[in-house]
Amino acid sequence: MSIANAGRVLFGRTPKLTRNLAQISSLKFYSSQMPKYEFVKTEKVGENQNIAVITLDRMKGLNLLNNTVINEVNDAVFKFDKDDSVSVLILTGSEKAFAAGADVKDMQVMDYSQAVKEEFLESWTAISKTRKPLIGAVNGYALGGGCELALMCDIIYAGEKAQFAQPEITIGTMPGAGGTQRLTRNMGLSKAMEMVLTGNYMNAVEAEKAGLVSKIFPPDQLLAETIKLAEKIASHSPLIISMAKKSVHIAYETTLKQGLQFERTSFYGTFATADRKEGMTAFVEKRAPKYINE
């Protein structure tokens, strides 16, 4: 389902395209003036136009990844991350593929010194640093670097036909953008090791069972359902959302003791915010909260 159709399903109207999107060719613009990218489409959707959808669009929907694609994704993600009118980001691809991985034809001709000197694919993990929630909506293939891109999202919703794999082993290499680390943390040693050492595909049902994805939907409903999730998240305070997101991520990076300490400090920190006060006051006064992101 296209973004426009997803918007119609949810809101009965076509979401507005980001202003001047088609005319802007420089990468210098921010927020509502998003640049025109070669392989990435951007749009703001939702009842409050506060959900940013970033859609990969390369090679007839296969969405093969290279530095240009990743730089464009990074650029779009970081612009929306800084845009106060946007609360939640969605990264998606086509019905055929979220992304079928790095372009093997580029890598085939590369040698070690070139890879090191050019810092090949160096910027690929940058999007994992976003402050705002980033939701992956994965239809079709998520292979190699495509699977790793999905793993950098905070939540993954998948279409029923989604297929996840780290097939690098079948072409004489191994995952290089977090696959061996994030898969292992997400689904444990045995399942991650099997995926990495065999290159076997994991379908959507298996991926949900393994905890890789939260929910699965018919492919044509995936984006609409993901936007619904994004809007639910966006109804909360953006400031507190970013604090909670960071705290969940800390669980992957520290000991339990340090993580609990971080969580406690962050929890106390919410009491220094206007939004915590508003949230609790609204509850007591039996009304909807009005958050100001402070």
> Which one of 83-91, 128-136, 169-177, 244-252 is the stretch in contact with ligand DAK (CB under 6 A)?
169-177
Q: Which residue type sits at 241? A: I
Whichever of 1 and 64 has its CB closer to ligand DAK, that residue is 64
Task: Please tell me which residue in 46, 93, 145, 176 is annotated as part of the active site.
Answer: 145
> How near is the Cβ of 167 to ligand DAK at its closest, in Å?
4
Among 145, 159, 219, 238, binds ligand DAK (CB under 6 A): 145
Q: Give CA 119 to chain center in angstroms.
A: 23
Residue 145 catalytic? yes
211: left (phi over 0), alpha (psi -120 to 50) or beta: left
For residue 271, the SS3 value is coil
Burial class (CB in 10 A: 0-12, 13-18, 19+), 76: buried
Residue 168 catalytic? yes
Residue 285 catalytic? no
Q: Which of 208, 198, 154 is nearest to 175 (CA)?
A: 198
Burial class (CB in 10 A: 0-12, 13-18, 19+), 213: buried
Residue 62 within binding range of ligand DAK, rule CB under 6 A:
yes
Residue 176 within binding range of ligand DAK, rule CB under 6 A:
yes
Site track 177-216 with ligand DAK (rule: CB under 6 A), x = hit: x---------------------------------------
Q: What is the arrangement of strands in the sheet containing 51-56, beginning at the earlier edge strand?
A: 40-45, 51-56, 88-92, 134-138, 155-159, 215-217
Task: Please tell me which residue in 43, 72, 148, 208 is annotated as part of the active site.
Answer: 148
Q: CB neighbours of 179 closer than 8 A, spacing ≥ 6?
A: 144, 147, 148, 151, 166, 168, 196
Residue 148 catalytic? yes
Using DSSP bridges, classify how beta strands 40-45 and 97-99 pair: parallel, antiparallel or unpaired.
unpaired
Whichever of 102 and 244 has its CB closer to ligand DAK, that residue is 102
Supply 135's token pair.
């939701």
> Which one of 11-19, 141-149, 181-189, 228-236 is the stretch in contact with ligand DAK (CB under 6 A)?
141-149
Q: Which of 217, 106, 118 is nearest to 160 (CA)?
A: 217
Residue 141 within binding range of ligand DAK, rule CB under 6 A:
yes
Residue 238 within binding range of ligand DAK, rule CB under 6 A:
no
Task: Please tell me which residue in 102, 150, 165, 204 is annotated as part of the active site.
Answer: 102
Residue 230 within binding range of ligand DAK, rule CB under 6 A:
no
> Which one of 4-12, 22-30, 153-161, 168-176 is the stretch in contact with ligand DAK (CB under 6 A)?
168-176
Chain residues binding ligand DAK by CB under 6 A are: 62, 64, 100-105, 121, 124, 141, 143-145, 167-168, 171, 176-177
As annotated, the active-site residues are: 102, 145, 148, 168
